[in-house]
A and B are shown apart, each in its own frame.
Chain A
Amino acid sequence: MTAPSSDLALEIIELNKAFGGLKVTQGVSLSIRPGERRLIIGPNGAGKTTLFNQISGDMRPNSGRIRLFDEDVTTLAPYQRAHRGLSRTYQIITLFAGDTLEHNVTLGLLGLLPSRWQMWRPLSSYRHLAEDARRTLDSVGLLHLADHPVSELAYGEKRRLELAMAMAQKPRVLLLDEPLAGLSDNERGTVKSLIASIPKEVTVVMIEHDMDTALDLAETVTLLNYGRVIVDGERDTVIADERTREVYLGA
């Protein structure tokens, strides 16, 4: 057992994951402080999303530990991690297409409440949930669409809804998987300021390809390649590092 290191929001220790012979995560260790803004970069296939899937519990690592606020969550199911303050968004949009925006965000709220087991009271009777959901939608500028089904949304709006669902849960640690992917310049600005406005007490770990935008949001950067941590540290140090240029920025 590793000694408890109480001042970390998320700690990953010697994580390994392989699909058959393909090693997608190799001895990855990360230490992320509460309130930190961490950007994870790396070329396609570097194992960024796989790492996220292991942190959120969608995948089990072959070895290594994951600690969330000093609690070992390595063997916990995704929903148990959610109840310990972990939220995530998906690179591939994962929303409830037939339902309204309000319903989508309400589900996000419901997931952490005991009333999710309630079998006789209609969900629509929880007025405070609907109000909460609308407040969250307002904060991402989608309130005017609250009663529309998700299928009517434009791509950029769906990205914002992804963010809203995660934010509604008031997470302690938020994993954002390419929140800017596929957005126009205009929308990118919107989402960027949304991410920038996330309360400081929330720890944000973000995967992003768009370096120009993402670097502004990050305090620390981790560079992954072939499932390994290549460089890890303060933003400017990582950018200036020789290996970053080699791997990512294209030498």
Chain B
Amino acid sequence: MKWIASAVFAAVALWLPFFVGDFYINLASQIFIAAIFALSLNLLVGFGGMTSLGHASYLGVAAYVSALMTSRYGFGHGTAALISILGTVAMAAFFGVIALRATGLGFLMITLALSQVLWGLAYRMSDVTNGDNGITGLTRPAPFGISLDSAASFYWFALVVAIIAFVMMAIFVSSSFGSSLKGVRDQPRRMAALGFNPWMIRWITFVYAGFWGGVAGLLYVYYNKYIHPTSLSTTSSAEALLGVIAGGSGTLAGPAVGAAIVLLLKNYASAYVERWNMLLGVVFLFIVLVMPTGIVPGLQQLAARFRGRWS
């Protein structure tokens, strides 16, 4: 059942650019980027029990570093990508040391504060970041000489990265380290008594989530060819968190579905309703009331109930 679903998804995803117009292809590319971002946040929120309100830091910093290096300092995309990912990981390692002094609400507040600092810097250091004007006129890389400028080619690029990200994170959470992580989420004291180092487990996960957040940031800046301080804002972090919770935190498919919903609402609803945030709020409220564990687990329960009725 799972295999058939994956095969159908793969087939549709691969051939999508042959059937639909650029608008939808671009929308799908954006969904992939948002999904990678939400999945990386889910490592913290869903599997680690660390609710972060500052995950946009990694997306934003990776995007800014790449943008600055390619546009201002004349580096090639390869070097820029490498350095921005390394820089993002190093930043996650440092932020992790600060934020993981606390758990729960304290952790959330520290991640929020750190991301606000970066957001403020992006706004204020206008001689570097160009402030509120953002950095424009960026280019997309051409891996192996293949241009990513068309909607379809970028789509396939994003698809490949998204699949790799999904598989890597799926392996991560089902590994023995992933089991340790879930154990630390559920019973930190017990895990410590059993010989696990809860702090180190959380920190490694924090850094790994930062890495994938950085990857999402690179795709984000490649796609938009533009970067603005909003990508570092709390709103950006909160939208991803909303996607994770709405889709089903602690599941693998949930955050991807949730991110897609947030993005679709943002794109479609904003065309018709000026206050699309309000609509997002209502939809979120509905999900929380009807399916408190999120859409994916909710639908699974529903499906199980139907199957039980028919057999």
Contact = CB atoms under 8 A, between A and B. Distances in A.
Interface in B184-220: 186-187, 189-198
B252 to A, nearest CB: 13
A121 to B, nearest CB: 6
14 contacts: A58-B189, A78-B192, A78-B193, A79-B196, A96-B186, A97-B186, A107-B183, A110-B194, A111-B191, A116-B177, A119-B175, A119-B176, A121-B175, A123-B179
A94 B177 contact: no
Contact of B193 (A87, A97, A117, A124): A87
Given A82-B195, A83-B195, A169-B195, A110 B176 contact: yes
Contacts of B198: 79
Given A112-B194, A119-B178, A122-B171, 14 more contacts: A58-B192, A78-B192, A79-B197, A82-B192, A94-B187, A96-B187, A96-B190, A107-B183, A107-B191, A108-B194, A111-B196, A123-B175, A124-B174, A165-B194
A87 B192 CA distance: 10
Contacts of B179: 103, 106-107, 110, 123
Size class of the A contact interface (CB-based, 8 Å): 35 or more
A155 interface: no
A247 interface: no
A123 B189 contact: no
Contacts of B189: 58, 78, 94
A69 B177 CA distance: 30
A111 B186 contact: no
A94 B190 contact: yes
B180 interface: yes
A19 interface: no
A107 B195 CA distance: 10
A97 B194 CA distance: 16
A77 interface: yes
B197 A77 contact: yes
Contacts of A79: 191-198
Interface residues of B, number: 22
B196 A122 contact: no
Nearest to B177: A119
A174 to B, nearest CB: 12
Contacts of A117: 176-177
Contact of B186 (A88, A98, A118, A165): A98
Contacts of B226: none
A169 B194 CA distance: 8
Nearest to A117: B177
Contact of B176 (A94, A98, A126, A169): A126
Interface in A87-107: 87-88, 90, 94-98, 103, 106-107
B172 interface: yes
Interface in B14-29: none
Contacts of B174: 122-124
Give me the 5 closest cross-chain CB pairs, A-B, nearest first: A111-B195, A111-B194, A82-B195, A78-B192, A123-B176
Nearest to A129: B176
Interface of B: 171-172, 174-180, 183, 186-187, 189-198
Interface string A139-173: 00000000000000000000000000100010000
A111 to B, nearest CB: 3
B194 A118 contact: no
A123 B178 CA distance: 8
A193 interface: no
Contacts of B183: 96, 107
Contact of B175 (A90, A103, A120, A165): A120
Interface in A49-98: 56-58, 77-79, 82-83, 87-88, 90, 94-98
A86 to B, nearest CB: 8
Nearest to A82: B195
Nearest to A89: B193
Nearest to A165: B194
A110 B180 contact: yes
Interface in A202-229: none
Given A79-B197, A96-B187, A123-B174, A116 B180 contact: yes
Contacts of B177: 116-119
A97 to B, nearest CB: 8
B178 to A, nearest CB: 7
A103 B174 CA distance: 12
Nearest to A126: B176
A44 interface: no
Contacts of A103: 179
Nearest to B180: A116
A115 interface: yes
A134 B180 CA distance: 19
A69 B25 CA distance: 66
A120 B171 contact: yes
